[in-house]
Amino acid sequence: STDLMSTVGYDSIIQHLNDGRKNCKEFEDFLKERAIIEEKYGKELINLSKKKPCGQMELNTLKRSLDLFKQQIDNVGQGHIQLAQTLREEAKKMEDFREKQKLHRKKIELIMEAIHKNRNLQYKKTMEVKQICCCFLTYGLTLLTCTCTGRLSHQGLPPLLQLPILISSADRSYQQNVTTLEKIREEWQKEHIKACEFFETQECERINYFRNALWLHVNQLSQDCVQNDEKYEEIRKSLEMCSIEKDIDFFVNLRKTGSLAPAPVVYENYYNTQRNATPVRSPVPVPISRRGPLPTPTSAPGEPDYATVDGYSLI
């Protein structure tokens, strides 16, 4: 501003810097809230995988897939808890950066406040001395006018004789204050420029740090998605190893009671001894033959069909 006493430009810069600090605080709070959500979600997933049964009576290959499924869900939950901790650490870094800038800026602000105060006091003092000089000059002209017109009494002569001394003293004081004010103005201007350069450097650092922090946060979320997908890919690989025929055979071998069918019940006649003389020989048990091939499972319309899930690639 052209007004020496105005601080409107400086105040505008300080307001902008405070707004930038507030923006950093808002992002810091966002990370903290996201960390709370991630931690809660992770704990819920872990509790779900540990406490909720999920095919616990299954056998063999499908059981291994289900066990791996629950284990990977637990791992995903652990990943979300770890992500929550990472977000808290990033929020703490943002807080440290914000407070560091605040402390450095406070030193400059204190210097500027002191020089503003000194400038204002000197300006006020200079204007007061200037006013005194103007008063003396006006008073002197009035006396001279009255003397020339013969309207001045003898009582007015002593002030008239002292007037040049008073005017000269006031003028010297006025010149000295103007010189002092100019030195203060030059010092203030230099400090103001230095302060603006410092504030500009801080703002560049803040924008750069804020941008990098947001970039890092998005990368962390992407990395978490990739890691989760890797865990889910392990489940898909396990399901590819799941064999219906092996599971059926495993169950049969686990629960089998023998390979021979019960022998037919033979009739014995206890009343006709002649006929019982030659008992009927029991037929030899015939081994049970393996039944035909397993039926091919079919899916009703709208049901998930594993056979159609192909072409998947891990990102």
Res 56: pLDDT: 80
pLDDT band at 308 (very low <50, low <70, confident <90, very high): very low
For the domain 7-149+159-253, what is the CATH superfamily, name and number? Arfaptin homology (AH) domain/BAR domain (1.20.1270.60)
Quote the percentage of the chain above a pLDDT of 70. Answer: 79
Which tops the pLDDT comparison, 240 or 276?
Answer: 240
| In the predicted structure, residue 153 carries a pLDDT above the cut 90 | no
* pLDDT value, residue 58: 82
Residue located via tokens 């004081």? 173
| pLDDT over 60 (residue 99) | yes
Single pTM value for the model: 0.69
Contact 154, 209 (CB under 8 A): no
Lowest mean pLDDT among 114-128, 252-266, 278-292: 278-292
pLDDT at 296: 77
When pLDDT is cut at 50, 70 and 90, the band that residue 141 belongs to is low
Is the pLDDT confidence value at 315 over 50?
no
**Mean local confidence (pLDDT), 217-225:** 89
Average pLDDT over residues 220-231: 89
The reported pLDDT for the residue numbered 309 is 45
Nearest to 74 by CA among 222, 231, 230: 231
Query: What distance in Å separates the CA atoms of residue 185 and residue 122, rounded to the nearest whole number?
Result: 10
Find out whether 46 and 70 touch, Cβ atoms under 8 Å.
no
The percent of residues above 90 in pLDDT, for the chain, comes to 37
pLDDT, one tens digit per residue, over 166-190 is 677 777 888 888 888 899 889 999 9
pLDDT digits (tens, 9 = 90+) for 261-289: 778 888 777 776 655 555 555 556 666 66
What pLDDT score was predicted for residue 157? 42
pLDDT of residue 45: 93
Contact yes or no for 143/163 (Cβ under 8 A): yes
User: Are 75 and 231 contacting, i.e. CB atoms less than 8 angstroms apart?
Assistant: yes
| pLDDT surpassing 80 at residue 139 | no
Is 193's pLDDT higher than 90?
yes
Average predicted confidence (pLDDT) for the chain: 82
In the chain, where are the structural domains located? 7-149+159-253
pLDDT tens column, 52-69:
888 788 888 888 888 888
pLDDT digits (tens, 9 = 90+) for 26-55: 999 999 999 999 999 999 999 998 888 887
Beta bridge partners of 287: 260
Q: Which comes out higher in pLDDT, residue 125 or 167?
A: 125
Tell whether the model's pLDDT for residue 2 goes beyond 70. yes
pLDDT band at 104 (very low <50, low <70, confident <90, very high): very high
For the chain, the residue count is 315
Range 182-186 contact pairs with CB under 8 angstroms and sequence separation of 24 or more: 184/115, 184/118, 184/119, 184/122, 185/4, 185/119
Burial of 260-298, coded b for 16+ CB within 10 Å and e otherwise, reads eeeeeeeeeeeeeeeeeeeeeeeeeeeeeeeeeeeeeee
